[in-house]
Amino acid sequence: MNFEFLKPVDTALLAYAKMQPNKSLGQCIEIYTSQNDFPDITNKKIAIVGVEEGRASLGNYGTGTNLDEIRKELYKLYPGNWPVSVVDLGTISQGNLIEDTYFALSELLTHLIKNKIIPVIIGGGQDLTYANYRAYDNLEQTVNIVAVDNKFDLGTIEDELTSQSYLSKIVMNQPNNLFNYSNIGYQTYFNSQDEIDLLDSLFFEAYRLGEVTNSIQIVEPILRDADIVSIDMSSVKNADAPANNNATPNGLNGAEICAISRYAGISDKVTSFGIYEYNSKFDVKNQTAQLISQMIWYFIEGVNYRANDYPFGLKDNYQKYIVPIEDQALNFYKSNKSGRWWMEITLNENNKFKRHALIPCTYQDYISATNQEIPDRWIRTLKKLI
């Protein structure tokens, strides 16, 4: 593949990375610069790529610039007790047209995902999630998207593709590869009741900010079922992440967004991870750049601690629980390796949605079933499959 549209990391930033203490990420990550040929990514697990595209970011003009501020903070950090198999591929500059940027990003992501390399995208407007989604067109699979955002960004099908209307394009435009969309952290007063009702009618999932902050663990099964994770930094409260002109007083805190990033990394299914809407001109003491660098750190750590226990392996690795409920039986599986739970929908072998038949869940979902309450996620998934 031709990577000419990638702009190498600035030479001065490379020098900065090499000035960091021994064994810091700046010393461990392979960095694409103008001084070297394009790096060999064959054995890499994670690839970082910036995208300098903010033309469709509504209310946050200037996003996508000065992404090196995030890199500076990331290079300072030390890896955990895990191997560092990460490459920084530099940045995709704005194309002449915004569609050129979308095309370049989609082409790069398709190449990385096909080669089992997980891209970490630093944006840029959240409309880039649409380009991320289109990267799966040639991968012959349906896609689950999880967005961490205080809004659904539905817009209408008549709207231009922007950071606040990209979801309607994903839902309506062909080819339609979307199986499920989940929102984490929405705030009701930013979303009309019509939008909330529409998501419910599509059997999509949405978790209010209060639900998430009350028990952050509830989002782990949601992220375990994702292919794409898209984080809008406006989901984080202004006090913790001021570098966003759409930031508001309420939202997730720094520790919560890092926990979500780690859950995304631990997921065996997540194959792309994006952080969007960083706007450096509103940052205070590089606070948001520091937080984003820590989110990336937690995602990388999560990837390195993947259990690879998605239950298609040996039956000896799982405990199966059969729960009679109403006129049927629900099958639950518990991993002996990680202690995580799944519930099953029985499908014909030829069903194209077979990969969605095992639904990540919690122990509480199992307890609810034993109390003759069918878990809501099981019902929603079933309705999409029939």
Partners of 318 in beta bridges? 335
Do residues 142 and 227 lie in contact, with contact meaning Cβ atoms separated by under 8 Å?
A: no
- CA pair distance 266, 262, nearest whole angstrom: 6
- CA pair distance 137, 102, nearest whole angstrom: 14
Do residues 31 and 82 lie in contact, with contact meaning Cβ atoms separated by under 8 Å?
A: no
Q: Which CATH number is associated with domain 6-304?
A: 3.40.800.10
In this prediction, residue 317 carries a pLDDT of 83
Question: What are the strands, taking DSSP E only, across the chain?
Answer: 6-7, 30-31, 46-51, 86-92, 118-122, 143-148, 178-186, 205-208, 228-232, 272-276, 318-325, 328-335, 341-344, 358-361
Cis status, amide bond into 124, omega within 30 of 0: yes
In this prediction, residue 37 carries a pLDDT of 79
The SS3 call for residue 250 is: coil
Question: What does the DSSP assignment read for 89-144?
Answer: EEEEPPPSSHHHHHHHHHHHHHHHHHTT-EEEEE-S-TTHHHHHHHTTGGGT--EE
**Averaged pLDDT, groups of 10, the chain, 386 residues long:** 87 94 95 86 95 97 96 97 95 96 97 97 97 94 96 92 97 94 98 96 96 97 97 98 97 98 97 98 97 98 92 74 91 92 82 80 95 94 86
Q: Which two tokens stand for residue 162?
A: 């922007």
Q: Work out whether strand 118-122 and strand 272-276 pair parallel, antiparallel, or are unpaired.
A: parallel
Is pTM beyond 0.85? Reply is yes
State in Å, rounded, how far the first CA of the chain is from the last one.
Answer: 40
Q: Work out whether strand 328-335 and strand 86-92 pair parallel, antiparallel, or are unpaired.
A: unpaired
Amino acid letter at 313?
G
Q: Which two tokens stand for residue 353?
A: 């949605």
In this prediction, residue 350 carries a pLDDT of 64
Do residues 128 and 102 lie in contact, with contact meaning Cβ atoms separated by under 8 Å?
A: yes
HSE-up of 12 (CA within 13 Å, CB side)? 2
In this prediction, residue 41 carries a pLDDT of 92
Do residues 225 and 199 lie in contact, with contact meaning Cβ atoms separated by under 8 Å?
A: no
Structure letter (DSSP) for residue 23:
T
HSE-up of 27 (CA within 13 Å, CB side)? 10
In this prediction, residue 3 carries a pLDDT of 81
In this prediction, residue 39 carries a pLDDT of 86
Question: For 228-237, what is each residue's pLDDT tens digit?
Answer: 999 999 999 9
In this prediction, residue 314 carries a pLDDT of 58
- CA pair distance 21, 353, nearest whole angstrom: 48
In this prediction, residue 19 carries a pLDDT of 95
Do residues 232 and 248 lie in contact, with contact meaning Cβ atoms separated by under 8 Å?
A: no
Cis status, amide bond into 21, omega within 30 of 0: no
Partners of 208 in beta bridges? 186
Query: Residue holding tokens 């939202």?
Result: 251
Give the contacts of 79 (CB within 8 A, at least 6 positions apart).
Answer: 23, 25, 28, 300
Do residues 342 and 303 lie in contact, with contact meaning Cβ atoms separated by under 8 Å?
A: no
The SS3 call for residue 205 is: strand
Domain ranges in the chain? 6-304, 315-385
In this prediction, residue 351 carries a pLDDT of 65
